[in-house]
Every structure is written in C-alpha cells, then in structure tokens.
Amino acid sequence: MKLTDILNEGKIVITSKDNKSELPSNFIDFMVTGGRKTYNGSPVISFIPKTSKDLDKKDQLGNTSKRDVCNQLAIYAMKKTKLKFEPFDDDEGAGYSITLNVDDIIKKLK
C-alpha cells in the first residue's frame, strides 16, 4: 500500500483562525500525490482540492493562510501514519504541500 493511498482516505477537516470567516471549519476532499518531488532530500506530498466545490469550501474559511493549512495537513498525516511530517508552504505548485521527515526514519533504522 502506498503512503498516498493511506492519506487519500476521506475528507480532511480544515479549521479557520479567521474570526470573519463564513465557517469555523470545513471538510475538504483532497487528491494526494507524492513521490516525484523532493525538498532537501525529503519527499514532498501535495494535497490538491479535488473539485471547485472543495476550493469554495477552503474560501469559506476566510483568510486562512497557506502555512496554516499546510500545518493542519502535516498534523493529519502524522496522526494517520505515525510518521513525522512538516509543513512546506514554499512549494510553488498547486495546492498545499508537506514533507516527510526522513531523518526520524533513518534514526529508527540505526
């Protein structure tokens, strides 16, 4: 089973910290891709809203920053896989990205 298959299971709750947002949180369905890009040796995993409706759901969260969404996705991935992920908001591609912290994996293998 691929890591992206595990992360593709179900919608993800994204919470807004913007007091003026239409909703405090929303379930967004993401397409998860990864394995083709790396950043400083760590695999990059991208979460792209599946449909325009999912993009609209993100917009209902007001001024929720890309960094904040990436943080929430990293926490989701850590809970789902028990591996350490970090937000990667410098990715210029579509959607939101996180990186897998391979240093922790290497330490466990030693």
* Per-residue model confidence as pLDDT tens digits over 59-80: 999 999 999 999 999 999 999 8
CB 95 within 8 A of CB 48: yes
Domain count, the chain: 1
Q: Which residues form the domain of 84?
A: 3-109
- Beta-strand runs (E) in the chain: 12-15, 25-28, 30-39, 42-49, 85-88, 96-100
pTM of the model: 0.86
The predicted-structure confidence for 1-13, as pLDDT tens digits, reads as follows 566 666 776 789 9
> For residue range 51-60, what is the model confidence (pLDDT) as tens digits?
999 999 999 9
SS3 57: helix
Question: Could you tell me which of 43, 26, 32, 27 has the C-alpha nearest to residue 9?
Answer: 32
CB contact at 8 A, 61 and 25: yes
State residue 2's pLDDT score.
66
8 Å CB contact between 51 and 64:
no
